[in-house]
Amino acid sequence: MKVLSSTLHGVLLLEPRVFGDDRGFFLESYNRRKFSELGIHEQFVQDNHSFSIRNTLRGLHYQVGQAQGKLVRAIVGSILDVAVDLRRHSATFGKSETFLLSDENKRMLWIPAGFGHGFRVVSETAHVTYKTTGFYSLPDERTIAWDDPDLKIDWQLDGPPILSQKDKLGLPLRDAEVFE
């Protein structure tokens, strides 16, 4: 597993070893021992899978109380994945970074608890899976406005985003509950 650079403390862009031949390929998407060697010691408790069409924008989501770390990958298609540091005492608080995850590059993104997360579908469709370190909790769920001008996220849109009602009602970071 190769770790690629990230400007956000704790966020890791991971590139697994891919073994391919004329039949296809094989890769290890998770190995507890190898992840521990990379400093990821959290235990995963839930796997999620979403399917979305081009320009669907999901996020920026996070949970307070029952915060979640996430290991994200696009298994079909490509997404622009975004992590936002919501840890008030972090040197990168309020900063974000975008990453291209796709079935072609097979990269994964580790986003520790304390970050907001979202993605936009770049391809015609995308299947995205992610493992979480905490169970989903509706009362703890929060949403930051995807278009908060203070965050300056370049979603590389090629048309208006397709949003859920929840994502249309996201709060600006300055009004949101964050991690102390």
| 62 noted as active-site residue | no
Active site residue 9: no
116 touches 8 (CB < 8 A): no
Single out the catalytic residue among 9, 30, 41, 61: 61
**164-169: long-range pairs with CB below 8 Å, 24+:** 164/58, 167/57, 167/58, 167/59, 167/143, 169/143
Residue type, 87: R
Q: Which residues are catalytic?
A: 61, 130
